[in-house]
A and B are shown apart, each in its own frame.
Chain A
């Protein structure tokens, strides 16, 4: 149209360019800083443990070996435990997110007369911890010990997640719900048809939180189901390998025989550091691979405007 506007446009694009360049530089730096620990861990996991002890490993292994992984896979019941882990992660995530979303929906409704009561009752539990023994006794009374469900029920609802989902649902335009009510939709319909689909970004986020929490959990296996191999999880199996690699060196006889054997120069040993690295890789790769599937929900950005009409 006129010169001023074109100049304005130009200046904006120059600003943009500067902004983008700075942003990209920051992001690249970030990538370097964040990628380093992973690559370092990978390098350690692929390096002979004896050499790793000397320290100073950075990005590449110095003495390449698959032995640490072999050891981890030999020692642990990886497949069976992995299956249990997947099962608990999937079950726990589906049930947990559904339950959290439902509670979140009710306390997002301004007209719900118990809104404040329910919210406070839930929130308070975030800051109260009964302690290990009372919790254990309760779970024993409920028959949860020695059961798969001890992985699911006690942690079914994460209050943090409830609150997060709630604030998203509250952010949805109220007119949507109103018009649904006009059409005679009940609360369940509003929940399933409006709240859940529109809060998909936060549902994806919370699913990720819950899934990672379930996947990484080993303490409940340790306390409740440690004697039942069928219910062992990947994380717990790997914790076992790790603590055993500590033990191999900490008993006099074990260390001495390992030393004597190593003098002959044939036998490879494992150290906690190497095992820890291999274990980190084994356990984090599957869950990191899940992420891209969820990512599309919150990287692209949904256009609610379209729905709102």
Chain B
């Protein structure tokens, strides 16, 4: 149970390199384990009930994954459904659209990831630089309001903003003389990823920036005062105090989000998809909806879920390793 070696922080690691390791008693084995249990009983008390919760609510139902290898029918349950081996996976991977679906999934996911991080951090930093508390509060409150709109509403707004005749984007571009013919944005597949990215930013940048704002508050105010005395410019303060101050939070969030590499969103794509852009819009979740859930094929949905988990783990552990190698904060 567990790895009885405590991980070292970056600073400790440096220390470790410098001084020879002290050998103090057996560091492995049951004895060590029980000793530690006794020593840290309070921490155990604080974590074990929740580990139990985790086991019951998150790990126990994973037994249902067997249905990925079945032709599961709710009426028959797990024990009487037909076993089909890897057929569900084969169906998924061998579909001629699979590669295109994966391309779309990855592309939109990566675009959303990068855009999401850059915009949310920028917004948080800029908000932090506002001097007037009242203005700052108002801007911040307004900035996350779109988060409360459902995707149906947002998709409707996006669609009307991109309309050919009176869509605000086309009107703007025409008036500025950038184009001389209105563009049918939603009718060109190549624009789709960008539209999704932009819509996503619009809907969630304010909301996502909240966490960075909280992180900024944890930065020692004395640093700013000291910087001011040293005559640092605003940009310098941002680059030398604010950003390094939230760096570890950013890295941790980044690692977690890299694990979600195959979660490129669902509703936005589904709602903005049309016959002309479907080649760029269909992602894994939409594919699974069409051939899985809506055809009552729960097995295919489960198989796709397992596939996503495997990919997630690979990316997650890789990202964590890279962060570790670079001497950054890491997830575990």
Contacts and interface: CB of A to CB of B under 8 A. Distances in A.
Let me know if chains A and B touch directly in the complex, using CB atoms closer than 8 Å.
Answer: yes
Interface of A: 8-9, 12, 15-16, 19-20, 23-24, 26-27, 30-31, 33-35, 37-38, 40-41, 55-56, 99, 102-103, 105-107, 109-135, 137-138, 142, 153-154, 156-157, 160, 163-164, 167-168, 170-171, 186-188, 191, 201-202, 204-205, 208, 212, 273, 276-277, 280, 283-284, 287-288, 291-292, 295, 297-305, 308
B222 A305 contact: yes
Contacts of B135: 24, 27
Contacts, number: 270
Interface in B139-154: 139-150, 152-154
Which residue among B127, B138, B166, B332 has the maximum number of chain A CB atoms within 10 Å of its CB?
B332
A299 B213 contact: yes
Contact of B61 (A9, A123, A135, A301): A135
B260 interface: yes
B252 A163 contact: yes
B223 to A, nearest CB: 9
A132 B301 CA distance: 10
B252 A23 contact: no
Interface of B: 1-4, 6-9, 12, 33, 36, 40, 42-44, 46-47, 50-51, 53-54, 56-65, 67, 72, 74, 123, 126-131, 133, 135-150, 152-154, 156-157, 160, 166, 202, 206, 210-211, 213-222, 231, 233-235, 248-249, 252-253, 256, 259-260, 298, 301-302, 305, 308-309, 312-313, 316, 329, 331-332
8 contacts: A15-B234, A24-B135, A112-B47, A113-B33, A114-B47, A134-B61, A135-B61, A170-B248
A280 B214 contact: no
B98 to A, nearest CB: 20
Contacts of A283: 148
Contact of B157 (A27, A37, A124): A37
Nearest to A111: B6
Contacts of B331: 119, 123, 163
Contacts of B128: 301
B50 A99 contact: yes
Given A19-B235, A123-B316, A163-B252, A276 B64 contact: no
A305 B221 contact: yes
A38 B146 contact: yes
A142 B52 CA distance: 14
A115 B6 contact: yes
B24 to A, nearest CB: 14
B63 A134 contact: yes
Which residue among A15, A287, A298 has the maximum number of chain B CB atoms within 10 Å of its CB?
A298
Contacts of A191: 46
A171 B214 CA distance: 12
Contact of A167 (B33, B40, B252): B252
Which residue among A38, A102, A128, A277 has the maximum number of chain B CB atoms within 10 Å of its CB?
A128
A55 B61 contact: no
B74 A133 contact: yes
